[in-house]
Amino acid sequence: MMYLAPQGSSQTSAIEARGQCVAESALRQIWFQIGVVAEQIFIKESLRGYKLKTLVTRSIPIACVFALLFAVWAPSASGIPAFARKYETACTTCHTMIPKRNSFGEAFRRNGYKMSEGDEDLIKQPQISLGAPAWKEQFPNAVWPTDIPFSVPFSAYVHQRLVYDPTQDDDKWQWDAPHEFELLVGGSYGDNISFYGTWVFFEKDKNAVGLKQFWLQFEDLLGPENAFNVKIGRMEPAITWGNRDNDRKTMEHMPIYDMRVADGSKWRMRDQQSGLELNGILGSRFEYAVGIVNGDKKTQVFKPMDTYFRVAYKFGGMGLDGSGGDFDSLRQVNNWEDNSVSIGLYGYSGTNMMTAGTDAWENEFDRMGVDVKILFNRFDVRLGWVDGTDDNPSAPGAGAKKDSDGWFVETDVILYPWLSVVGRYGRTEIDGAEKKHVTLALVGLIRANIRVSLELYNEPHRSTDELRWVKLNFLYSL
């Protein structure tokens, strides 16, 4: 396997070459392990009376289609979601693979979906002015001017998949298509206001699920640029900024952010919440955020508010605000290169409003965690840890408080610009009950805005050594 650099790019360095060899060796080992697992599945099914011929007959076409898609289409790319249309650039300017952002894309997001340098010159899509620039000088005797895109900044996200679940008694194969269909809207009003929202039209066999998130952010209100911003609406709290839920390559969620502790409570760290957040960047390297939100009661405000904070620092690479980035050419190839280490610390304090029959009570809880991101050439390593306490998570009189903790480590290796492999191992523990989580995925791009992946998930703590599921996922945006 050999990586061919695009025309006009510099020759791969010795370090990159060694990294490529390691990546290729890892891929061979991964495919070997996938083969071993697949063999075990087939043998077990045949011993249980399941017709091996039928299983193989169903599996081979799927594998062939998967391989053919990569072999024929992977090297080319074209995609035009809302931001790509605005700047007339490829999705790969801001993403390694949709929806996972690179450092340039993260800076674009932090800057209110604007380029931190030369934004007006880089916009290719016509903008409609709402007022004349001279009105700024006449303020407060005139409305502050702004502009909006000529076309409405909508995009769509669709996720379809084929699932193999060996734990099912009957048919173990199922089409989940579509699994999810979302409408996304995002952009900016001039220089200092940005917005983003998602509306779920369909998810898990349910139509018109409703609003997932929508927020408005006012930027650069005080002090230096990017230092003080105010976000209001329904949002993903900053405690997950180190590993955002909408920034992952796997369909399986990060285990520590997906953990529920209290009986009957729907609260998880990764969930969208309604509230107010103050955030900013200081000196291009230090990031902070503090917020007050409604917790697990969504838009209902008649309950004790939850609070959270996060602070983080980035060593090396591009600045958090995009300083040092290539804004002249909007680089579209090898855009994962940002050798750096980012470390974050976060905390959350909240209250669950618990009910069981006629009983009602409050569960006060706290979470404290650390996240680490290491970028080195083609390697993206993520680590996360969280520790928590729930004072009264079960029914009244059921027992004392519950302690919880968890951690995970994930490695994402880019083999080609259109192909990567992701491996994750995590552990969560609630009141002494331990769970282990293993995820392995091969992820590729058919086009810059069309992604396909083969993903395996298992829980080694269970008494059986069977896989929990295998999924062939198709994800695309438009």
**Could you state, in order of their start, the residue ranges of all structural domains in the chain?**
14-477
Residue that the structure tokens 């306490």 belong to: 389
What is the per-residue pLDDT across 118-138, written as a single tens digit (0 to 9) for each?
666 666 666 777 778 788 888
Confidence of residue 349 (pLDDT cuts 50, 70, 90): very high
Mean pLDDT, the chain, as a whole number? Answer: 79
pLDDT attached to residue 466 = 64
Degrees, nearest 5: CA angle 30-32-37: 95
Residue 235 predicted with pLDDT over 90: yes
Q: Across 40-54, 80-94, 365-379, which has the greatest mean pLDDT? A: 365-379
pLDDT at 53 over 70: no
With 70 as the cut, is the pLDDT of residue 331 above it? no
Gap between the Cα atoms of 88 and 43, Å rounded: 51
Q: What DSSP letter does each residue of 415-476 carry, written as one string?
A: EETTEEEEEEEEEEEETTEEEEEEEEEEEEEEETTEEEEEEEEE-TTSSS-S-SEEEEEEEE
| Model pLDDT for residues 426-468, shown as the tens digit of each residue | 999 998 899 999 999 999 998 888 899 999 999 887 766 667 8
Q: What share of the chain is helix, strand, coil (3-state, %, to 5)?
A: 20, 45, 35
Over residues 218-247, mean pLDDT: 92
The answer on pLDDT for 93 being more than 90 is no
Structure token pair of residue 335: 């855009």
pLDDT 10s digits, 1-45 = 333 444 444 444 444 444 444 444 444 454 445 444 444 444 444
Mean pLDDT of 210-229: 92
For the CA atoms of the chain, what is the radius of gyration?
24
The confidence score (pLDDT) of residue 70 equals: 39
Most confident of the ranges 65-69, 379-383, 462-466, 469-473? 379-383
Q: What's the number of CA atoms in the CB half-sphere (13 Å) around residue 314?
A: 26
> Could you tell me the sign of the dihedral formed by the alpha carbons of 28, 29, 34, 39, in that order?
positive
Residue type at 457?
Y
Residue for token pair 């198709």: 474
Mean pLDDT of 354-378: 89
Long-range contacts from 280-285, C-beta under 8 angstroms, 24+ separation: 280/226, 280/227, 280/228, 280/229, 281/110, 281/226, 281/227, 281/320, 281/321, 282/224, 282/227, 284/319, 284/320, 284/321, 284/323, 285/313, 285/314, 285/315, 285/319, 285/320
Least confident of 34-43, 232-241, 284-293, 401-410: 34-43
Q: How confident is the model at residue 425 (pLDDT cuts 50, 70, 90)?
A: very high
Q: Which CATH number fits domain 14-477: 3.30.565.10, 2.40.160.10, 2.70.170.10, 3.40.50.300?
A: 2.40.160.10
Please give the pLDDT value at position 302: 60
In 74-122, which ranges are continuous DSSP H helix? 82-87, 103-110, 119-122
- Which pLDDT score, from 0 to 100, does residue 81 have? 65
Is the pLDDT confidence value at 233 over 60? Answer: yes
Residues 6+ apart with CB under 8 A from 88: 124, 125
Instruction: Write out pLDDT tens, residues 274-301.
Output: 999 999 999 999 999 999 998 876 545 5
The whole-number average pLDDT for the span 180-205 is 88
Q: Do 383 and 409 form a contact (C-beta atoms < 8 A)? A: yes
Position 461 scores a pLDDT of: 75
pLDDT of residue 407: 97
**What is the rounded average pLDDT of the residues 226-252?**
91
Are β-strands 95-97 and 379-390 bridged in parallel, bridged antiparallel, or unpaired? unpaired
Q: What is the pLDDT of residue 77?
A: 35
